[in-house]
Amino acid sequence: MLPALLAIVLVMAFPLLYLLFMSVHKWSMVGYEPPSFVGSSNFVALINDRRFIESLARTLYFTALGLLSNIPLGFAIALLLAENFPTRNVLRALLILPMVATPVAMGLVWVVMLDPSLGVVRYLLGLVGLDSPPLWLSDTAWVVPTLVAVDAWMWTPMVALICMAGLAALPAEPFEAAMVDGASVWQRFWYITLPLMMPTLVVAAMLRLMDLLKVIDIVYVMTGGGPGHASETINLYNYLVALAYDKVGYGASVALVLFALVLASTIILARLRGGQS
Amino acid sequence: MSTTYTRRQTLAVIAGATAMLPQRASAAGFDWKRYSGTQLRFMVSTHPWTDWAQKQLPGLVEATGIKVSWEILYEDQFRQKLPLTLRSDPGAVDGFFTLPSWDAAAFARAKWYQPLDQIIRSDLTSPDWDFSDFFPNILKIHSVGNEQIGIPITIELQTLFFNKSMLQAKRVAAPKTLDDMVVAAKALDDRKNGVAGYVTRGDGVQAVYTIAPFLFAFGGRWLNEKGEPEIGDKPFVNALKFYGEILRAAGPPNIVGMQWKSTYPLFQQGRAAMFTDATNFLAYFKDPKQSKIVDEVGVAPLPAGPSGSHSTVISWGPAIAASSKKKEATWYAIQYLTSKVMSAASTEVTHLPPARQSVYTSDVFVKSVPADMIEATRQGIPNAVPNGANPLVVQVPEVRSAIGTAIVAVLQGGDAEKAANDAQKQVLQILKG
């Protein structure tokens, strides 16, 4: 028991405490001055840091768009694949392909595909009469929805897989009873499938929520946070501040805010799940 | 890229370099084996020269008896690991690769560079090594406060590339002035067929590099003598207006946010008529495996503004860590790898413009690149601003981000004066810490 506790403290608590320690220091890797204690001033500075506030708001927007697209779409795919039809197994195999590829490689592939001069997306849209599509990654209004779409392409299959497992575990009796009572397909979905699936959907939302709040890989690869800072998420800002701008202490305070945000959101969803079950 | 040297001849040059160094030196009484048996550690980033140098290490052992552990890291990783190692474990790294336009202010302040002037003048330097052979303007890149801190390897100049047949078709000459350039870019722009008149970087942080020559052409500079930013001044506002106007009128539709990895393929695939960036890109345009314009590439000096044509020039090179306990042996290794013979051998492999004048004017380089490139760089080098790629400050990445925000704002149609003033305020704030 004690060794396990010790391992948990070392692995989980120590990095967090060290992060806290760094966040109350002015800390630079370039060695002209040693770390100096600055108290809460890094956190106070965050309030006046417009780039931080904007990246925080953008991350919440990114997360909201991500959840609103991933969960309904993943659930719909799971419902579709729960039906029996000839190519079901092939589709299930194809479904997981985007998920197993590395996000960096997929991000680069999408950059090429979305290029307005050389990309295939413009060509395909041209075939159906859309000759002037948006400048996906160069337009400040479109860049976040475009990144969310690429993220959804990669991770909706995971939501679908979770939902498929949830659907397979549902008891048959309520559905049989509803059929005997003459309930329609829509009524069976609304009054039986959806409520019974709610705990599963909350778990899927919780997992996606944590990933979406921390998103950095596809943003870094596809836009680097640009144009300007129009797609800079809080995790990317954190990386830039701490490692590129060499403000390790300030970066630690950004990281702590992100940690608190992820923790709070997860607790809320976990409570929601408790309520559901 | 055409060359008169075969692979076998190249290997012979390198083998010759290895064999000749100790012999020549011993003739001059220079003892290359003085630090034989010393083990060194170099930390370098990926670069054609560092890849080439790694292959020369067996020759180094043979010539000097010095063994080097050559740690090559990707640039991002290198930028994080090197400062961490220099700070947390003094003495662990003896030599490192440095790009002074990025590192010099921070590294000099941290006292991580070993001053080299005394070493170069001492008996630790072979008479054959010939310090005066380096381009004087390129040596300045690797100096801080008139003290040499590194040895330049190659010259990375910015220049104008143009598609000869596109210019001929529209009867447009390669522009010599900024006004000509705007007219030419607009005339060459053919959006209906997906061809941009002109392309360069549109990503804010990266575009600081490509806007710099226009700042200098309008008579500006990044910092004044006191190290204060001059980003809110008229020359930078003019540079922003020029950059915004030409790229909005004749740039690709997705110019905002375009990094170099997206811009050069447009020119390479015949989708842009003019392109400005580093001379290094010539290799991509001359590669028949990936380029559609191998025989169409023209090179010219950057067009002149009211204050003339001033490119930027940067250069990577090796430096000695001030904390090294084996500085003399480290200098021997650097000296070996940067000698005239080895510089010729590396140029033969990398095709990058060399920092040594004797190699620059030799057949090895002259015959490996087109004549117009030689002429453009010959004209560009004396007037280029050493380390002009960005303000030389400790906080380069953060300052580049602030200036880049202004560039993006103007590319999106924003007011240049307001963007420049906002950037000036931000940079002042960053420099204050």
- Taking CA atoms, what residue in A is nearest to B251? A117
- What is the C-alpha to C-alpha distance for residues B186 and B172, in angstroms, rounded to an integer? 11
Per-residue pLDDT at B4 exceeds 60: no
In this prediction, residues A185-199 reach a mean pLDDT of: 93
Q: Chain A, 155-184: which have a CB under 8 Å from a chain B CB?
A: none
Structure tokens at B232: 């809110």
> What type of residue is B282?
L
What pLDDT score does B28 carry? 55
Beta-carbon neighbour count of residue B430 at 10 Å?
Answer: 17
**Residue A86: domain span:** 51-102+141-245
Domain contains A161: yes
- Mark yes or no for CB contact A135/B253 under 8 Å: yes
* Gyration radius of chain B over CA positions: 22
**Angstrom distances, CA of residue B181 to CA of A71, B159, B198, B244, B285:** 52, 13, 9, 13, 21
Half-sphere exposure (CA, 13 Å, Cβ side) for A174?
Answer: 13
- In angstroms, the separation between the Cα of residue A111 and the nearest Cα of chain B is 9
Q: What is the DSSP string of B211-268?
A: HHHHHHHTT--SB-TTS-B-TTSHHHHHHHHHHHHHHHHHS-TT-TT--HHHHHHHHH
Residue A137 at interface with chain B, using a CB cutoff of 8 Å: yes
Higher pLDDT residue, A148 or B382? A148
When pLDDT is cut at 50, 70 and 90, the band that residue A273 belongs to is: confident
Closest Cα in chain B, distance from residue A173 (Å):
56
Average pLDDT estimate for B65-88: 91
Arithmetic mean of pLDDT, B236-245:
98
Residue A4 CB burial class (10 angstroms; 0-12, 13-18, ≥19) = exposed
Please indicate, yes or no, if residue A121 is contained in any of the structural domains: no
Overall average pLDDT of the B34-55 stretch = 95
In angstroms, what CA-CA distances link B283 with A189, A274, B250, B274, B326? 62, 62, 25, 16, 37
Residue A104 has pLDDT above 70, yes or no: yes
pLDDT at A38 over 50: yes
What's the confidence (pLDDT) of residue B9? 43
Q: How far apart are CA B166 and CA B262, in angstroms?
A: 20
Contacts of B25 (CB under 8 A, 6+ apart): B31, B32, B126, B128
Residue with tokens 């400062």: B83
Q: Which residues of chain B does A137 touch, with a Cβ-Cβ cutoff of 8 Å?
A: 254, 257
Q: Do A32 and B111 touch (CB under 8 A)?
A: yes
Q: In the A/B pair of chains, how many CB contacts fall below 8 A?
A: 92
Whether A248 has its CB under 8 Å from any CB of chain B: the answer is no
- Chain position carrying tokens 């190692």: B85
Q: Domain tally for chain A?
A: 1
With cut-offs at 50, 70 and 90, classify the pLDDT of residue A131. Answer: confident
Query: CA Rg, chain A, in Å?
Result: 23
Computed over every residue of chain A, the mean pLDDT equals 91
Quick one: average pLDDT of B17-38? 66
Neighboring chain B residues of A29 at a CB cutoff of 8 Å:
80, 83-84, 87
Beta-carbon contacts of A146 under 8 Å, excluding residues fewer than 6 positions away, are: A114, A136, A137
Chain B contact for A243, CB < 8 A?
Answer: yes
Query: Bigger pLDDT: A144 or B15?
Result: A144
What is the three-class DSSP state of B113?
strand
Of A229-238, B255-264, B308-317, the least confident: B255-264
Q: Is residue A273 part of a domain?
A: no
Instruction: Select from A117, A226, A228 the Cβ nearest to the Cβ of B252.
Output: A117
Quote the distance between the C-alpha of residue B184 and its chain's center. 27
Q: Which residues of B touch A (CB under 8 A)?
A: 79-80, 83-84, 86-87, 106-107, 109-112, 194, 196, 202-205, 252-259, 262, 265-266, 269, 271, 394-395, 397-398, 401, 404-405, 408-409, 411-412
Pairwise CA distance, residues A164 & B60, whole Å = 62
Residue showing tokens 């990375």: B156
Tell me the two tokens of residue B325: 């306990």
Q: What tokens does A263 get?
A: 């923790």
Is the per-residue pLDDT at A264 higher than 80?
A: yes
**Residue B382: which of B203, B138, B36, B93 has the closest Cα?**
B138
What CATH number does the domain containing A167 carry?
1.10.3720.10
CB contact under 8 Å between B203 and A226, yes or no, is yes
Q: Is residue A87 situated within a structural domain?
A: yes
Candidates B331, B295, B429; CA nearest to B121 is B331
A202 to chain B, closest Cα gap in Å: 37
pLDDT grade for B287, boundaries at 50, 70 and 90: confident
Q: What is the DSSP letter of B192?
A: G
- CA distance between the termini of chain A: 31
The yes-or-no verdict on residue A118 having pLDDT over 80 is no
Residue type, B73: L
Any domain includes A76: yes
B196: pLDDT strictly greater than 90: yes
Nearest to A226 among B107, B111, B204 (CB): B204
Length of chain A as a residue count: 277
- B2 pLDDT higher than 80: no
**Which of A104-118, B48-62, B408-422 is predicted with the least confidence, judged by mean pLDDT?**
A104-118
pLDDT-derived band at B43, boundaries 50, 70, 90: very high
Average pLDDT, chain B: 91
More confident residue, B18 or A272: A272
Tokens for A54? 């904007």
| Residue B411, pLDDT above cutoff 50 | yes
User: In angstroms, what separates the C-alpha of B187 from chain A's closest C-alpha?
Assistant: 19
In percent, the amount of chain B with pLDDT more than 70 equals 94
CA distance B117 to chain A (A): 23
| A228 at B interface, C-beta within 8 A | yes
> If DSSP codes are grouped into helix, strand and coil, which group holds residue B402?
helix
Within-domain flag for A265: no
| Smallest Cα distance from B90 to chain A, Å | 11
Q: Are B125 and B84 in contact (CB under 8 A)?
A: no
Confidence of residue A32 (pLDDT cuts 50, 70, 90): low
A194-236 tens-digit pLDDT: 999 999 999 999 999 999 999 999 999 999 998 989 999 999 9
CB-count burial class (<10 Å; 0-12, 13-18, 19+) for B313: buried
Judge whether B126 and B263 are in contact, CB under 8 Å: no
Residue from the list A228, A240, A246 with its beta carbon closest to the beta carbon of B409: A228
pLDDT at B17 over 50: no
Q: Is the pLDDT of residue B121 over 60?
A: yes
Residue A77 has pLDDT above 70, yes or no: yes
| Range name among A99-108, A234-243, B140-149 with the lowest pLDDT average | A99-108
**Does residue B127 have a cis peptide bond before it, meaning omega lies within 30 degrees of 0?**
no
Q: Is the pLDDT of residue B16 over 80?
A: no
Instruction: Identify the burial level of B401 via C-beta atoms within 10 angstroms of its C-beta, where 0-12 means exposed, 13-18 middle and 19 or more buried.
Output: buried
Classify the C-alpha dihedral B23-B26-B28-B30 as positive or negative: positive
Segment B154-163 mean pLDDT: 95
Q: What is the 3-state secondary structure (H, E, C) of chain A?
A: CHHHHHHHHHHHHHHHHHHHHHHCEECCCCCCCCCEECCCHHHHHHHCCHHHHHHHHHHHHHHHHHHHHHHHHHHHHHHHHHCCCCCHHHHHHHHCHHHHCCHHHHHHHHHHHHCCCCCHHHHHHHHCCCCCCCCCCCCCCCHHHHHHHHHHHHHHHHHHHHHHHHHHCCCCHHHHHHHHCCCCHHHHHHHHHHHHHHHHHHHHHHHHHHHHHCCCHHHHHHCCCCCCCCCCCHHHHHHHHHHHCCCHHHHHHHHHHHHHHHHHHHHHHHHHHHHHC
> Complex ipTM, two decimals?
0.80
Between chains, do B86 and A245 touch, taking CB under 8 Å as contact? no
Q: Which residues contact B308 (CB under 8 A, 6 or more apart)?
A: B217, B383
**How far is B257 from chain A, CA to nearest CA, in Å?**
5
Per-residue pLDDT at A277: 55
Closest-CA residue of B relative to A231 is B257
Q: Which of A7-11, B174-178, B218-222 has the lowest mean pLDDT?
A: A7-11
**C-alpha span between B388 and A231 (Å, rounded):** 29
| Pairwise CB contact (< 8 Å): B254 & A116 | yes
Contact B397 A240 (CB under 8 A): yes
Dmax over Cα atoms in chain A, in whole Å? 79
In a domain, A158, yes or no: yes
From chain A, the residues in CB contact with B258 under 8 A are: 138
How much of chain A exceeds pLDDT 70, in percent? 98
Picking from A26, A28, A30 by the largest number of B CB atoms within 10 A of its own CB, the best residue to mutate is: A30
In which residue are the tokens 């904007």 written? A54
| CB count in 10 Å sphere of residue B297 | 22
Q: Does the structure show a pLDDT above 60 at B20?
A: no
Q: Is the pLDDT of residue A93 over 90?
A: no
pLDDT band at A85 (very low <50, low <70, confident <90, very high): confident
Whether the pLDDT of residue B1 is over 70: the answer is no
Please give the structure tokens belonging to residue A14.
């120590």
- Say if A192 falls within a structural domain: yes
Q: How many CB atoms lie within 10 A of CB B220?
A: 21
Question: Per-residue b/e over B117-153, b at no fewer than 16 CB within 10 Å?
Answer: eebeeeebbbebbeeeebbebbbbbbbbeeebbbbbb
Give B169's contacts (C-beta < 8 A, 6+ positions apart): none
Contacts A226 to B, Cβ<8 Å: 203-204, 256-257, 408
Chain B residues whose beta carbon lies within 8 Å of the beta carbon of residue A30? 83, 87, 106-107, 109-110, 394
Nearest-by-CA chain A residue for B402: A228
- Interface test with chain B among A131, A240, A246, by most B beta carbons within 10 Å: A246
The reported pLDDT for the residue numbered B87 is 86
pLDDT value at B15 more than 50: no
Contact: B408, A227; criterion CB under 8 Å? yes
Q: How far is CA B41 from CA B15, B92, B97, B328, B363, in A?
A: 24, 7, 12, 13, 34
